Structure 1
Amino acid sequence: MQWSSSLSAMDGVRLLRLGKRLTELGRAMVADHASATLTPGEIAVISDVYQHPGSSVQDIRVRTGFAQSHVSTSVARLRERGLLDAAPDPADGRRTLLSVSTLARGYVRARATRPAEPLLAEALADPAQARRAAELLDELAALLLPGGPPAPARPDAAVPPPADQG
C-alpha cells in the first residue's frame, strides 16, 4: 500500500516528538517519591516482570526492546534492592526466572495499572480531549504493541506503595 502525503501530517520528526512527549507522560505516571531512585528502564523492567511473572532476561528483552545488557543490569540492581526475586528454571537450571517481590508487588500494582486519563486531563485541560486521547492511545497500543491490547485495569488495583524500608 502506498501512502499519500495528504493522508497524514505525521512525519519522522513529529513522531519522535510525540514519542518523547508520551515517554514524559508515562514517566510522570510511574514516578513518585518511592520510585525517584529507579531509572525509567528499571521501572519498565519491573513493570514487565509484574505483568509476566516467571520471565527470563531474554523474555524481558524481547518484550521491552531493550538491549540484553541493559535488562541484565536493571535486573541486577532490582534484585539488590529486593524488588525482584530470582529462581532457577526447573526445566533448564542454567536459566533464571524472575518475579516481582512481595515488597514491590503492591507498589507496582498501584503505579503500573492506574489509568492514564487523569494525567491526560492535566496535560490537556479539556476532559473531552483527554478522553479522546486515552481512546486513541488504547487504539495505538492495540495496533503497535506486541500481544494486542492489555487487560483493563482492575478498580481494586490501586493500593498504596509499600512503606520505605530504608
Structure 2
Amino acid sequence: MDGVRLLGLGKRLTELGREVMDGAGPVTLTPGEIAVVADVLRHPGSSVREIGARTGFAQSHVSNSVARLRERGLLETARDSADGRRTLVRPTARARRAVRARADRPADEVIAAAVPDAATARRVTALLDELSGLLLPPR
C-alpha cells in the first residue's frame, strides 16, 4: 500500500466513522467543534490558547467554538485563579455521556451499507477489528 492509498483509506474510514457517530444522537457538531471537544476531553482544564495550539485552530476560532459549545451545555469555562486573563475549559457530564453513547454505537449497519453483501461486511468488520488491535492503543 502506498501513502496516497493509505490516506484515501483513512478518509473513507473517517467518513464511515462520522456516519456512525452522527446517527447516535441529537447532538450535531461541526468538524471544528468535534476537534475542540475531543481535545478538551483529552486535556480538561486547558486554556483556549492551549487548545488552539494542539488543534491548529486560530485562538479566535477556538474561542467562538467554546462559546457555542458552552451555550449547548457541552463545555464549561472558568477563569484561571492564577491568571485571571486565562479561561480554562472542561467538558460537562453531558458531553461525556454523549461521547460514551457515540463511542458505544456499533458500526455494523454503516459498514453493511458501504459494501455489496453481508459476507463482505462481516469480513470488513473482522479486518477493521484486527487493524484497530494492531494500530491503536488499548482502550
TM-score, scaled relative to structure 1? 0.62
Secondary structure, counterpart of 2:90 in structure 1: strand
- Structure 2 distance, partners of 1:114, 1:60, is 26
Consecutive unaligned residues in structure 1, runs of 5 or more: 1-8, 142-148, 153-166
Secondary structure, counterpart of 1:94 in structure 2: coil
TM-score, scaled relative to structure 2? 0.72
| Runs of 4+ with >4 A deviation | none
The structure whose RCO (Cα within 8 Å, separation 6+) is larger is: 2
Select between 82-91 and 26-35 the one with higher mean Cα deviation.
26-35
Q: Is the 8 A contact 2:78 2:88 kept in 1?
A: yes
Match of 1:133 among 128, 132, 137: 128
Residue 39 of structure 1, CA deviation: 1.0
- Structure 2 distance, partners of 1:104, 1:60, is 17
Indicate the residue corresponding to 1:101 in structure 2.
Answer: 92
Indicate the residue corresponding to 2:21 in structure 1.
Answer: 30
Over 3 Å counting, the alpha-carbon distance change for 1:46 and 1:117 in structure 2 is: same
**1:57-89 deviation digits (Å, cap 9, x = unpaired):** 233234434444432322121112222100112
Residue 121 of structure 1, CA deviation: 4.8
- Percent of pairs identical after alignment? 53
Indicate the residue corresponding to 1:56 in structure 2.
Answer: 47
- Structure 1 distance, partners of 2:20, 2:56, is 21
Secondary structure, counterpart of 1:131 in structure 2: helix
Consecutive unaligned residues in structure 2, runs of 5 or more: none
Q: Is the 8 A contact 2:20 2:107 kept in 1?
A: no
Indicate the residue corresponding to 1:144 in structure 2.
Answer: none
Root mean square deviation of aligned Cα: 2.8
Instruction: Tell me the matched-pair count.
Output: 133
Match of 2:74 among 83, 104, 108: 83
Secondary structure, counterpart of 1:74 in structure 2: helix
Tell me the amino acid that sits aligned with residue 134 of structure 1.
D
